[in-house]
Chains A and B, each alone.
Chain A
Amino acid sequence: MTDLLVLAAGGAVDLPLGITEGGNWFLRNAWLIPLLPALSFVVILFFGKRMPRGGSELGIAVLGIAFVLALLTGAAWIGHRDNYHGDEIHRAVVVVDDGGHSGADAADHGSGGGHAEQSLAVVNTVTWFQAGGVEFSVGTLVDGPAVMMLIVVTLVSLLVHVYSTEYIQDDRRYTHFFAFLSLFSASMLMLVISENTLQLLTSWELVGVCSFVLIGHWWEEKPNSDAALKAFLTNRVGDMGLIVGVSILFFSVGSALPDRFGSFSIAETNALASAGMLPQTALLVAACCLMAAVMSKSGQFFLHTWLPDAMAGPTPVSALIHAATMVVAGVYMIARLYGVFFEGLSIGGSSINLMAVIGGITTLVGACLAFVQRDIKKVLAYSTISQLGYMVMALGVGAWTAAMFHLFTHAFFKACLFLGSGSAAHAVHGFDMKSDMGGLRKVMPHTYRTFVIASIALAGLPPFAGFWSKDEILVGTGGWGLFGGTGGNGAYTLMLVMGMVTAALTAAYMTRCVYLTFFGEFRGHGEPHESGRRITVPLWILAGLAVGAGLLNMPSGFQLAPGSMQERFGHVVEPVAGYFPVISHAGPSWSLAIASTLVVLTGFAVAGWYYFVRVEAASAAAGRSLTELPDGPTSRYALARMGHTFLVNKYYLDHLYTGIVAGGTKGPVAAAAYRFDQRVIDRGVDLVGETAVSAGRAVYDKVDQMVVDGVVNASGRVALDTGGKLRKIQSGRIQDYAAILFAAATVLAGILIVIV
């Protein structure tokens, strides 16, 4: 299917989008995957309470089917990726402004055959609505990243469903919980296969509202509903950027396409952006606006503060929504609209840009905060922020595949960690590592082992999953210096340093977390015991993936693995098509891998020495299980104490947002606006009314009584009538007001006609 070429002053270019309508049945009908959980949401909501297991069985069954469908879609995609030779969709483009230059530019990109072997995404749409003569479509875009996300979301969601049946067993709103897990899964699945940005925005907000409902699951307690509100409102701030950014892209694409008012299509937007046919300014502004949305949704500094609070929700929710899936929506959006970001922020050939900086700062900021948390879930929450920072940083330096791969592996080991923390908390009835936990390794062997495996994967020791993905990010920065790598999109040395430091910090805070939870002696109350199978089996599955998932994308030239195993993930997931920018891939570096491993080991060693040697010894001396040294650095050095206070107060950002921004708007600003409304505008209205009444009275007193009355007094009765009528003005009879107004209107009309 090729659209007509339209010739105009600027000249026309035949721009391949890299998409097709054909392909395997599963690829064309991916909409079934989100539809199923959407239906189960409705059924569970209305009939769940009458089901024998409160609707959870339906949720699990539906997610199971969705997972199988996602796997089949994945298999179909692997076949389609290399073997599909059907029609490709082209779009003729008329370059409107300064046609000569960018037209030639586009031709280079587009028809120059930049993509030797293409992967055609499967796009199918139907009309959603029409407005302003434009048809807006809704549909599916199925390609590598979409398929990868389909599998991750359905798998983690399925495991979380199973886990929840035990975790929230006798909850007051059991059915309601599963209904919203279904709705969340549906929205998230729709988000990943969105064909256009409007659809993306829709599902983006829907996952947000599911997050709101699930964080506030126990809304009887005010802190929970506060956390839910904070999450929603912070995300709304970012959504402002999303709305504006999407609008800019819509019209920019529209002005580049002939006879089109605008377009939300992701493929078209990306293809035009990658081909250099959209104005750079528009792309830059749009990319910055969209970054705001990423910052709120994916917990990037300085809009990350809602994410730790969101831990008020049930732990399965934290695992699914606030670790594995929803919070990566921002990362995924960058990946999805990579053409826009790559061109807009000029990622190629640079050494610094907004996205890489935000990601880099976030990864450090999150890691530092993870050190001072007592609540095990908050450690993991800040760790999530830090790892999301990694992903954003990776995208910022052009390491697209590495970012996606890290998203993939992170989903498994972080979900494992969250579910593990939930398992431990379930046993001890509390989340505070210092007062409720300790020594759990003896009583909870499964939880302990899976947690440690996932921690090592998170810290990134070979051959665990996190190592491979983290290493690819570090390589992808292209700022190797001493390590001597090849390729890459620029020289982001600063980001390499940030990534390295974070790697050491991650190893250290996870050591702290593992020690406080599982080592020493039990400091809580009661008799903790291992959770049941519905909790441990999901843990082991995720732990297995935390070990093995990294093997899917071993670097090319890695001699220990067979050639077919090298960069399998990258090959399948990364699009090579018109709608994706041409990015350079960094070659692997042995020396960098060894260096990063040493850094991680150093982190482990330092923290291990502190906790396993020093604290252990101090505990033995004190005769009870300690959680820190009684004479640690914070008690000895003022500077360390200040740093600690600064971290404990979360850089005072919450004070700024909740106290000053939100409190200020809701308090003084709103009150001032309302006072203005009542005292100035409304008072003005009343004054006009009062003036009219007193004017009427004046007319009556002065004119009527003295002049008119005097004149007409002779003819008695008539005057009484007039006076009677006018007197009614003061008594507020509306028909008289009306009569006067209309009389005035007629006079005014006359004046208007005469003078203009």
Chain B
Amino acid sequence: MSVPIGAYLMLSLALLILGLIGVMRRRNPLMLLLSVELMLNAGNVALIGFSRLWDDPSGQVFALVVMVVAAAEVVIGLGLVVAIFRSRTNLDVDEMSSMRG
């Protein structure tokens, strides 16, 4: 019983769009991070789907790599969020605009 590739891709696309909307709409950095995670996993789903399709394990290996990277990224991201929360009381990405050109 094989799940058709279309299903993988549809799931992936849905996750990606959800993530995108999250990134663009939410103002809380924690939610931003979550949304990014969502998008990364959308990518993972697509990778695994194609891996199944071509019967090539390297896609799955790559998904594992992405997970590791994502974990690392979350660690750093959360660290940043905590650091920011310490220096300013609220968490709103729109107020963090000191990098304005």
**A interacts with B:** no
The chain B residues found within 8 Å of chain A, CB to CB, are: none
The chain A residues found within 8 Å of chain B, CB to CB, are: none
